[in-house]
């Protein structure tokens, strides 16, 4: 989906995430749109794709640049959920069995699953503790934890 966004905006997906400041500006512009319907429509369409693509780049061992700004974009995405700026569900309510599901709970589970797939050596409970609150500082702690546990499992 975010490939469509990148195409609409005139650049390729990989360039999109090598320019996280552009992504942050787009996120901020839609978050502060005068019409909440525009905000909700944009994020319902692209939020999870942006989140997934940024995590893909951050967890790519060959990727080194842009960590700080990509972390800022992720923190901003979580902030938008925590502040209820995005009022439409980011999930399909018909496919969720919990009637009390909201974006905060959904995003927490979604992110935990996303990270669990990227770091299979880390237990899922670690991810559930990590996200989404105080994301930026916990991202650093998580990355250090994952490096240490990966190193420990290789040396065993």
Would you list the domain boundaries of the chain? 2-155
Q: How many whole angstroms separate alpha carbon 68 and alpha carbon 24?
A: 12
According to the model, what pLDDT value does residue 55 have? 81
20 phi/psi in degrees, rounded to 5? -65, -20
pLDDT at 128: 63
Closest alpha carbon to 85 in 50, 33, 153, 139:
33
Q: Which two tokens stand for residue 26?
A: 């787009």
Distance, in Å, from the CA atom of 115 to the CA atom of 34, rounded to the nearest integer, reads: 34
Per-residue pLDDT of the chain (156 residues; tens, 9 = 90+): 445 555 545 444 444 445 678 889 999 999 999 999 999 999 999 999 999 888 887 777 676 667 778 878 888 898 899 889 999 999 999 999 998 999 988 988 888 888 788 778 777 666 666 655 555 455 555 555 555 555 445 455
Residue 112: predicted pLDDT: 80
Q: Does domain 2-155 have CATH number 3.30.930.10?
A: no
* Distance between CA atoms of residues 149 and 49, nearest Å: 28
Contact 40, 88 (CB under 8 A): yes
């Amino acid at each position: 989906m975010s490939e469509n966004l990148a195409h609409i905006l005139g650049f390729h997906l990989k360039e999109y995430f090598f320019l996280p400041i552009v992504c942050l500006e787009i996120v901020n512009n839609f978050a502060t749109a005068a019409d909440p319907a525009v905000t909700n429509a944009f994020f319902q369409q692209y939020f999870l794709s942006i989140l997934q693509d940024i995590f893909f780049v951050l967890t790519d061992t060959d990727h080194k640049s842009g960590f700080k700004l990509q972390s800022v974009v992720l923190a901003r995405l979580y902030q938008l959920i925590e502040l209820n700026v995005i009022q439409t569900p980011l999930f399909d309510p018909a496919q969720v069995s919990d009637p009390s599901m909201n974006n905060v709970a959904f995003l927490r589970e979604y992110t935990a699953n996303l990270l669990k797939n990227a770091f299979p050596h880390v237990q899922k409970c670690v991810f559930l503790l990590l996200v989404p609150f105080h994301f930026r500082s916990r991202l650093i702690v998580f990355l250090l934890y994952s490096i240490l546990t990966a190193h420990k499992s290789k040396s065993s």
